[in-house]
Chain A
């Protein structure tokens, strides 16, 4: 166990977070190993998004410990955290309307060598190549989601935090995003995913943490899911 902690890419311990007066996270602890795809599951409002934002350093106040590749980030501002090699894809996608698709794609600066080449990104997301001159927010929901993922692949970040990448999208596009996550995993990207879509989570991830009221209350590997469907039904209310 100790050895595993030492090799963790991301190690979160007793993470607490607040928005103004409200205490959202009450001591979240979990780990992500290099090359893994891990999901945070749970009902609405249990603190999944806040967990991602706290790791990225964009909540008002946080406490506890978040170590990325052994480096403590709890006291760092979000720009310094990003430069360590983490990248965030927000739930609302965060496509900039005053930037065209190309500018949106090129916006995040390279934080490390080894990001994907543009050509490689266009093979993953062929739609984007044809829309480079369009205003960012004129794209369809699915295309915006692809743009939001695509732009953090260039930067050399090795850990991607994806907040509900399938929300509000058509099944065929969800399938495409699932394939993309598989491809990225094969290329050595590590991903931490927040998901409401349990089927999707089961199809792309290696391990799952279940959250309730600002804490991790259980965890499963994907092969263990089937045997624990009853518990999951209770946790998620699906």
Chain B
């Protein structure tokens, strides 16, 4: 039965890796922004950018994998919940690419090229432009907050399925969990 089909291993791996990176980058971004200029601030900004670029890097194969190997169908539920779940997933995908992309453009606009891991210079897709930099900074921050809200909604829904509905929605994305095939849990 498709209802208990787990996510594929690459999909699980990408899900948790990207989740961990996003959940590290967000508070780091909030914290570093408040620091006054210091070597620590420069270091943290670089780490933040490297994490973001890693998310962007992982995003591409993840999206391709999802298109090639569609995830297991949603477990049965009220139509509005299924629609909401579908929309949330695509918005999450959109934002997990848009937030780091926006940060990259913002860094270029502010006159700081992004050098991935301090080794690989990424091209400046926009030139130095303070006004554009400020605009992209606002956008980066707004989109990051939107992403956080979606992640909370997403995680709350997963917990609701796990704790209240007691279905396999959460379990099938968890690593190292074997689902008894062909059986649905009550």
**Is this pair of chains taken from one and the same complex?**
no
Residues of B at under 8 Å CB distance from A?
Answer: none
